[in-house]
Amino acid sequence: MATAENWKTFDQAEWCLDLMISHYATSMNAELQRPEPDQALIAKWQQEQNHLDDERDALRIEDQANSERVINTYGPLAQELYRPANPA
What does pLDDT average to in each consecutive run of 10 residues of the chain (88 residues)? 88 96 96 96 97 97 96 93 72
Does residue 25 belong to any structural domain of this protein? yes
Does residue 87 belong to any structural domain of this protein? no
What integer pLDDT is reported at residue 1 of this predicted model? Answer: 57
What integer pLDDT is reported at residue 82 of this predicted model? Answer: 78
Whether the CB-CB separation of 18 and 55 falls below 8 Å is answered with: no
Does residue 5 belong to any structural domain of this protein? no
Q: How many domains is the chain built from?
A: 1
CA distance 22 to 80: 14
CA distance 43 to 2: 38
What integer pLDDT is reported at residue 83 of this predicted model? Answer: 79
What integer pLDDT is reported at residue 36 of this predicted model? Answer: 96
Does residue 62 belong to any structural domain of this protein? yes
Does residue 18 belong to any structural domain of this protein? yes
Whether the CB-CB separation of 9 and 62 falls below 8 Å is answered with: no
Of the candidates 80, 30, 19, the one whose C-alpha atom is nearest the C-alpha of residue 55 is 19
- Which residues constitute the domain of residue 51? 12-31+39-80
- What pTM was computed for the model? 0.87
